Structure 1
Amino acid sequence: MSDYTKLFIGSNLIINGLTFFLEENDIQYIIKDRFNSALMAGFGELSGGTEIHVETSKFEKALEILENYKITISSENQ
């Protein structure tokens, strides 16, 4: 089993877009959505954002992808 490192905490919308690029680069990831998990379990939790964790061995590449994705999102909103 691979070790995973937290890459980003944010909205589901941003994370869903980011996963496309991670998959395109063959980077495995785990999404932790504590808010929806709490709702399904029958109790509420304040949404602190959704976490995405990537394989530690590919963290640097994933970080580069994240930074490029942030630039793309910023330029589209201007």
Structure 2
Amino acid sequence: MPLTHAAENGANTGARLAYSGHAFLARINAYLMRWSRDKYKRLRGRKRAQAQWEMVVRSRPKFFAHWIWVNVVPTVW
């Protein structure tokens, strides 16, 4: 049975969603970083917060399920 036009478009949409999904997951990381900076005074500075983030990602790479795909923090957070 041949693919319909909708099915062909659905495949293309899925590819775009996969890409935008990474942006969404990176945004979740930004929210996590903001939360940790607000909760812990010692992480208020960007360098300290970034160093702590990298240490946590190295020591517990599967701590959050989405870290399998994206474990960095966007530059704007």
Structures share fold, TM-score greater than 0.5? no
Structure with the largest fraction of strand: 1
Larger radius of gyration: 2
Give me the TM-score of the superposition, normalised by structure 2.
Answer: 0.31
Structure with the largest fraction of helix: 2
